[in-house]
């Protein structure tokens, strides 16, 4: 045997032994996976609510928790993409970590109850950067390492503060009395937004003066530039005029129709969390758009019922992302997730119409270029709705997913198709009995 071949065999054996030792000694769990996602877990025994999730690259990530378990809060870190987590800080002082901001792979701020902590060595050590003004501070936003905004919604001592020297000194910008803010976001040093009660206000002078804008409050808000932005408050809205007006974007119709948190990858791709779908049990889903929110679809990362809803989300690029439940588990993808079910203009008409699995005639018919296709379901099940041309070639898939009992209308736009006869076909599989029903109807496009 040649020496190099002998060395290779020895290395293979050693590698296998090392892997066996690692899996047997580290509490390794099998990966629960669906398509491009698989499930991950925090260390056994840590069940605190997760308040912050942030990854700085495809391997390195951080989680910060509340102190709802035995008055202990945690800072955790992973260096292998979330497959294993270790404790950086076990805090028994009553701290509630509620905000985390990394400026680069080493430097970050984290908000405690009444102070901001700083690390300059990727979380290995933390020091008090500054004490926050006020008490029971509601939130902070770090624009950079020097400029930080913080809010306190208490009526007398609350308000909005700003520091431009990393917290050495603070300036109270405004106090609204009983309507003090409880959330803050700044796009740059001049343009910012706050929530007061259930309304949103905007500043263009760094926070000294504020004016009301329509569209309600927000859980999360983020701008791509000074004009284009998104915000969530159970739904998701988009603005193209700097927040002066907002348009509700249509999400897929699911059991829970809403969004809590989101992350913008670029001007086209956004991921969001908060939805639930029913398909042999309640399962969390993750929203996705690839055209700036004109159409939203969703992915169901797990086929089992391990995670009923996803909360926090963090992507470092279009392929590597994580989404975690409120407590000790989440999912990870290296491939941009699984297949996304996109819907275009699907509208819920009635909650329940007990008339069977009925595919109705489209209207108007003939049409140019848009028509409506109504259908009814008297029980939950899996539905596909597709459009075919006269030769039987599929030209558009309108629906492919699980739907509840109700009456719906699907919008079909044939702007890019030529005049002629088309067919639309629905296939329904009962969630309870697995019985399959197929129906087809004809429509005419005249241009």
DSSP string, 44-79: TT--PPEEEEEESSSS-EEEEE-STBTTBEEEEEES
What per-residue confidence (pLDDT) applies to 11? Answer: 32
Asked whether 441 and 424 are in contact (CB, 8 A), the reply is yes
* pLDDT at residue 177, as a whole number: 85
Q: From CA 226, how far away is CA 219, in angstroms rounded? A: 20
Structural domains for the chain: 37-342 (2.130.10.10), 346-445 (2.60.40.2550)
Nearest by Cα to 182 from 240, 223, 134: 134
User: Closest by alpha carbon to 432, among 384, 383, 382?
Assistant: 382
* pLDDT at residue 227, as a whole number: 96
Strand 211-213, strand 148-152: pairing: unpaired
Please give the Cα distance from 351 to 319 (Å, whole number). 37
Look up residue 391 and give its two tokens. 């030769």
User: Residue ranges of the chain with pLDDT lower than 50?
Assistant: 1-34, 351-354
Return all residues near 174 (Cβ < 8 A) that are at least 6 apart: 159, 160, 207, 208, 210
Determine the 3-state secondary structure of 302 from DSSP: coil
Say if pTM beats, i.e. exceeds, 0.75.
no
pLDDT 10s digits, 60-73: 999 999 888 778 99
Q: How confident is the model at residue 8, as a pLDDT?
A: 35
pLDDT of residue 397: 87
Q: Which residues contact 165 (CB under 8 A, 6 or more apart)?
A: 146
Give the residue carrying structure tokens 């020496």: 3
pLDDT (0 to 100) of residue 395:
92
Compute the radius of gyration of the chain from its Cα atoms.
26
Q: Please tell me the predicted confidence (pLDDT) of residue 156.
A: 81
Long-range contacts at 77-84 (CB < 8 A, ≥ 24 apart):
77/122, 77/123, 81/320, 81/332, 81/334, 82/40, 82/55, 82/322, 82/330, 82/332, 83/40, 83/332, 84/26
**pLDDT for position 253:** 66
């Amino acid at each position: 045997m040649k020496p190099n071949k002998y060395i290779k065999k020895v290395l293979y054996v050693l590698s296998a032994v090392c892997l066996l030792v690692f899996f047997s000694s580290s509490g390794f769990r099998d990966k629960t996976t669906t398509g491009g996602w698989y499930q991950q877990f925090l260390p056994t025994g840590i069940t605190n609510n997760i308040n912050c999730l942030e990854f700085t690259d495809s391997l390195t990530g951080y989680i910060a928790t509340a102190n709802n378990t035995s008055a202990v809060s945690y800072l955790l870190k992973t260096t292998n993409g979330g497959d294993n987590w270790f404790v950086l800080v076990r805090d028994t002082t009553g701290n509630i970590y509620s905000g985390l901001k990394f400026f680069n792979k080493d430097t970050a701020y984290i908000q405690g109850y009444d102070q901001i902590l700083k690390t300059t060595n990727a979380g290995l050590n933390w020091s008090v950067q500054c004490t926050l003004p006020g008490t029971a501070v509601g939130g902070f936003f770090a624009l950079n390492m020097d400029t930080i905004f913080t809010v306190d919604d208490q009526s007398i001592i609350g308000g909005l503060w700003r520091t431009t020297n990393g917290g050495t000194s603070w300036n109270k910008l405004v106090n609204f009395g009983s309507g003090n803010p409880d959330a803050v976001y700044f796009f740059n040093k001049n343009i910012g937004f706050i929530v007061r009660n259930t309304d949103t206000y905007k500043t263009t002078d760094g926070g000294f003066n504020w004016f009301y804008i329509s569209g309600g409050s927000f859980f999360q808000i983020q701008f791509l530039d000074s004009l284009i932005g998104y915000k969530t408050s159970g739904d998701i809205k988009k603005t193209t005029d700097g927040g002066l007006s907002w348009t509700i974007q249509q999400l897929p119709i699911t059991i829970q129709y809403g969004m809590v948190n989101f992350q913008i990858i670029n001007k086209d791709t956004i991921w969001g969390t908060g939805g639930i779908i029913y398909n042999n049990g309640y399962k969390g889903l993750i929203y996705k758009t690839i055209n700036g929110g004109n159409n939203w679809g969703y992915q169901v990362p797990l086929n089992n019922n391990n995670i009923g809803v996803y909360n926090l989300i963090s992507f470092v690029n279009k392929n590597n992302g994580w989404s975690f439940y409120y407590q000790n588990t989440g999912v990870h993808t290296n491939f941009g997730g699984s297949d996304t079910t996109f819907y275009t203009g699907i509208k819920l008409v009635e909650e329940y119409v007990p008339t069977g699995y009925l595919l109705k005639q489209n209207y108007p018919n003939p049409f140019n270029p848009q028509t409506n296709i109504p259908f009814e379901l008297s029980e939950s099940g899996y539905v596909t709705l597709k459009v075919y041309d006269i030769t039987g070639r599929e030209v558009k898939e309108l629906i492919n997913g699980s739907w509840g009992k109700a009456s719906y209308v699907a919008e079909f736009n044939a702007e890019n198709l030529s005049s002629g006869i088309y067919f639309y076909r629905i296939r329904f599989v009962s969630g309870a009995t697995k019985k399959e029903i197929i129906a087809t109807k004809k429509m005419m496009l005249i241009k």
